Amino acid sequence: MKLDTEFIKLPLRFDVEQLKREIAQFTEDDWMPHATGFPGNFSIPLISLNGEYNDALHGAMKGTPALARCAYIQQIMTEFGEVFSRSRLMRLEPGTDVPPHVDVNYHWHNRVRIHVPITTTEDVLFYCNDKHVHMAPGECWIFNSWQEHTVQNNSDRTRVHLVLDTAGSPRFWQLAEEGEWPFENRSIEPTPPKYIAFDPDQEINVRTEAFNAPLVLCPAEIESLAFSLVEDASMSADSDPRSVEQYRWLARNFVRAWREVWSEHGMKPTGWPLYHALVNQADAGLAAITPEIVLSSNEVELGPAFRGLVLYSAINEEFAPQYLDKDELPDNLEPAIRQFKPNEGGLKKTAQANSAPRRNDPCHCGSGKRFKHCHGSL
């Protein structure tokens, strides 16, 4: 989620020793490799799709058996009182890192990631944009995932964080306002942190997302997302004005055509082939626009960002049973084969193997920036 600053430390502190006891009960078999395959990155799902061991972002989220074994973590979630999306214990092995990346997709557009460090050292650093912090054990942090971020474990110890994803209620964002903004000069004094002691008798109420992806995005949301990206790109000094106008024209016509289909079909199955045709048409139109342009806010290329934030989540037939009556569903409901890979959500693109990157190619490191603005400038 895009924040007004790189990092915010929330005014909460947690019982580190109790958290350590809870993670100590897990064996190596409980830790699953990171979905992206990043070396040295592992996780244990606590809230996941259907409460199973997976890394899915969308669908009905439920607590996993691992969460049921962690009384204090359940208490922490209850204390927040938020509706949680996918949440995990995340482990980073000594001498490894989370590669630089930017979270530009529909899920992360409206969700923030809460970090509670459990085991760490001062040699573990979290970078966001051009700033970095050390998150100490028991503290509580959020960060701007719209900016390029990375984590480096330069120590000889394993780092484990409790990581909770949520959209955040007004209560949560008031808590953020009262927290410490380390890189901003604010007139508001941060609130002293509240210590949350382990209470085995506390009543538990962990709230989880049931609706987090649309069957069909409504035209108003399509319009808002599409034009926010175009306007962002138009403010980049590196953007070719002709390409910006081509994107603006594509976005305008995509929204108008989407609204036309929506007006007649809404979310009904009769409109699904038409929506998919519009998505594929827009995807082809994006590929034809050259030169590529980047967002001014994070230097991610507009094409992949548009796909990840708008096209990839525009229609999701697999969630039809959540939105339609049984008699409205097709006899053989099967999700359409998507035209985009999950990691094309403006997340990262990599240069082709065995080829020298050109200045305007996406950088091979996966930052989402052009080569000339990343490793090409070193």
Going from the first residue of the chain to its last (378 residues), give the mean pLDDT of each consecutive group of 10, the final group possibly shorter: 97 98 97 89 96 92 98 98 97 96 92 97 96 98 97 97 98 98 95 97 97 95 96 91 94 98 97 96 93 91 94 93 91 59 37 37 46 45
Q: Same structural domain for residues 235 and 112?
A: no
Describe the chain by its helix, strand, coil percentages, rounded to 5.
Answer: 35, 20, 45
Q: Same structural domain for residues 226 and 186?
A: no
Q: Same structural domain for residues 162 and 252?
A: no
Tell me what pLDDT residue 338 has: 47
Q: Same structural domain for residues 126 and 30?
A: yes
Q: Same structural domain for residues 275 and 183?
A: no
Kindly report the CA angle at 73 between 67 and 78, in degrees rounded to 5?
105
Does 338 fall in a domain? yes
- The Cα 94–Cα 369 span in angstroms is 27
Q: Same structural domain for residues 227 and 288?
A: yes
Does 261 fall in a domain? yes
Q: Which two tokens stand for residue 269?
A: 């199955």
Does 305 fall in a domain? yes
- Residue 314, strand partner residues: none
Q: Is 37 exposed, middle or buried (0-12, 13-18, 19+ CB in 10 A)?
A: exposed
Q: Same structural domain for residues 49 and 189?
A: yes
Tell me what pLDDT residue 242 has: 92
Q: Which long-range contacts (CB under 8 A, 24 or more apart) does 153-157 make?
A: 153/40, 153/92, 153/93, 153/94, 153/95, 153/96, 153/97, 153/123, 153/124, 154/95, 154/123, 154/124, 154/125, 155/94, 155/121, 155/123, 155/124, 156/94, 156/95, 157/94, 157/119, 157/120, 157/121
Does 96 fall in a domain? yes
Shortest CA distance to 158 belongs to which of 29, 42, 293, 53?
42
- Residue 238, strand partner residues: none
Q: Are 252 and 223 in contact (CB under 8 A)?
A: no
Q: Same structural domain for residues 245 and 186?
A: no
Cβ within 8 Å of residue 187, ≥6 positions away: none
- The predicted model scores a pTM of 0.87
Tell me what pLDDT residue 175 has: 98
Q: Are 252 and 219 in contact (CB under 8 A)?
A: no
Q: Same structural domain for residues 198 and 229?
A: no
Q: Same structural domain for residues 156 and 303?
A: no
Tell me what pLDDT residue 239 has: 85
Q: Are 332 and 313 in contact (CB under 8 A)?
A: no
Cβ within 8 Å of residue 111, ≥6 positions away: 1, 85, 165, 166, 167, 168
Does 1 fall in a domain? no
Q: Same structural domain for residues 121 and 252?
A: no
Q: Are 45 and 32 in contact (CB under 8 A)?
A: yes
Q: Are 7 and 23 in contact (CB under 8 A)?
A: no
Q: Same structural domain for residues 276 and 329?
A: yes
Does 373 fall in a domain? no
Torsion-angle region of 59 (φ positive above 0: left; ψ -120 to 50: alpha; else: beta): left
Q: Which two tokens stand for residue 357?
A: 């990157």
Tell me what pLDDT residue 365 has: 44
Beta strands in the chain (DSSP E): 7-9, 12-14, 32-33, 41-49, 61-63, 83-84, 87-92, 97-101, 112-119, 124-128, 131-133, 141-143, 149-153, 159-166, 194-196, 207-208
- The Cα 294–Cα 292 span in angstroms is 7
Cβ within 8 Å of residue 253, ≥6 positions away: none
- The Cα 9–Cα 42 span in angstroms is 24
- For residue 58, the domain's CATH number is 2.60.120.330
Does 214 fall in a domain? no
Domain tally for the chain?
Answer: 2
Does 355 fall in a domain? no
Tell me what pLDDT residue 21 has: 98
Tell me what pLDDT residue 335 has: 58
Q: Domain containing 288: what range?
A: 219-347
Q: Please say which residue of 166, 188, 208 terminates a domain.
A: 208
